Amino acid sequence: MYVLSPNGSLLFEPLAKPWPNKPPKCSDCGPLFLKAYEMCNVGAVIHSHEMESCLATMINPSLKEFRISHMEMIKGIQGHGYYDELVVPIIENTAHERELTQSLAEAVRLILSLFRHMLLLSERN
């Protein structure tokens, strides 16, 4: 596992395995993960290429988000419960992960503004 500082400096890297193994390489997605930490003060970033995650983004290619509720796993996300609607932003892929940083930042800004709006509405009620 690689450990990076908040500014992206390498703090720890895994030991290389002997030949014929390739040396380990930090993910090209590092700038994306750091942007999430910077913007949201998140505790962890989970990155997935699972088939189900990819298929969920293809249900309706014109949508920029995936919405789901009534799922047991939603309870594991702080502030959410079984009956709550979870909104996951979908950003278009690019040839290189480093090119996704701007669109990730825009998606995070949108989600944060929606979340703040929802908090204001709930405080009024």
Q: Which residues are catalytic?
A: 72
CA angle at residue 27 from 94 to 88, to 5 degrees?
55
Q: Are 74 and 84 in contact (CB under 8 A)?
A: yes
pLDDT tens readout for residues 89-125: 788 888 888 788 888 888 888 877 776 666 555 555 5
pTM: predicted TM-score of the whole model, two decimal places: 0.59
Weakest mean pLDDT among 2-6, 38-42, 68-72: 38-42
pLDDT at 8 over 70: yes
Mean pLDDT score, 52-80: 86
Q: What is the DSSP string of 43-65?
A: S-------HHHHHHHHSSTT-SE
What is the predicted pLDDT for the residue at 69?
93
